[in-house]
Amino acid sequence: MSNAFDFTPLYSSMIGVDRMVDLVETALRTEAGASYPPYDIEKTGEDSYRISLAVAGFAPSDMEIVAEPNLLVIKGRKTTSEGQGARTFLHQGLAQRAFERRFELADYVVVKDASHAHGVLSVDLAREVPEALKPRQIPIGVGGVQPALDLKPAKVRKAA
């Protein structure tokens, strides 16, 4: 069975859907090891989010966070320390394998902070839309008189 979808009808009536199509295709691709490490994504406010990864066994120095436009990459690689080879495990259940977790970000979502505590890496994100792109109220002139243009963003009412 194929996971391919035909998005051609979208191209005839919508402009700029190519990015959306790329995101859908990326989400449909399955990768080996896609379940490691386990993670949560939560909405912590109207325009704020948190990604929490279970990274027990990894120190902050074993991980790297890279924020690119519309992409967040979190990598972990366990470094071997002095005396580590002399240890003999009867059972080794803590993670030792390297990982790379990629998160596609919406436009204007930026990384605000990252912290590591109790085996959990938390990355805080926020959506920051530039003032110039926020909706604004356009006054309507009457009888040929043009009112002054208010450049302040309009208050967007939310549906109840």
List the domain boundaries for the chain.
1-30, 36-81+88-130
Q: How far is Cα of residue 89 from the mean position of the Cα atoms in its chain?
A: 37
**Separation in Å, CA 124 to CA 41, 77, 81:** 10, 22, 30
Strand partners, 87: none
How confident is the prediction along the chain (160 residues), in pLDDT tens digits per residue? 455 667 777 666 767 666 677 767 766 665 545 678 999 999 999 999 999 999 988 999 999 999 998 899 999 998 766 556 677 889 888 767 899 999 989 889 999 999 999 999 999 999 998 888 788 888 888 876 666 655 555 565 555 4
CATH of domain 36-81+88-130: 2.60.40.790
Global pTM reads: 0.65
- The β-bridge relationship of strands 99-104 and 63-68 is unpaired
The enclosing H or E element of 125 equals strand 120-127
Strand partners, 52: 40, 122
List the one residue out of 117, 7, 128, 120 whose CA is nearest residue 53.
Answer: 120
Sign of CA dihedral 87, 93, 99, 101: negative
| Six-digit token string for 36 | 């490691």
Strand partners, 53: 39, 121
